[in-house]
Amino acid sequence: MKNILIRRARVGEEVKILNLVKEVLNLYGLNLNPEGEDLDITDISKYYIQNNGDFEVIEINGQIIGTYGIYKIDDETCELRKMYLKQEFQGMGLGNIMIENSFKIAKALNYRRITLQTNSVLYKAIKLYKKYGFEDFNEEVCARCDIAMVKEIAQC
């Protein structure tokens, strides 16, 4: 894969990111909700960067093809959010890179555990999360999700 760039999302890219999330969700019969569970990507700086988190994009030849964010829940817990990858780029190992980078970011921000919420129709993502040690746990989830997972990443 040529010209891959993984970088922090920039102010002003929210619409591009929302469109990518919508595109991927629609493949699975799920809907974007910028007033609800997707409100956080309408102002990435406010909800992520200024809140002890981070939000990254994967870009190929100038086009955003993937996203993931680390969102603060409390001083010890963060949530992996908005991990989406355009369909034509799935199966190339980018999901592994996204998860591994999210762990590095979470550790650098001094979190001890990372949670996530997903939907059972996103079976490829769930398989990836389990590969990296996420386990199901009983936690309230957003309207679009039916699964919560957690992984301890305590500092050594």
Question: Where do the DSSP E strands lie in 16-146?
Answer: 54-60, 63-72, 77-85, 113-118, 135-136
Separation of alpha carbons 42 and 33, rounded Å: 10
Architecture of domain 4-112: 3-Layer(aba) Sandwich (3.40)
Note the pLDDT of residue 63.
94
Note the pLDDT of residue 68.
98
CA count, 13 A, side-chain hemisphere, 5: 10
Average pLDDT, stretch 91-117? 95
Q: Where are the domains of the chain?
A: 4-112
Could you read off the pLDDT of 29-83 as tens digits, one per residue?
Answer: 999 999 999 999 999 999 999 999 999 999 999 899 999 999 999 999 999 999 9
Both tokens of 3, joined, read 């010209």
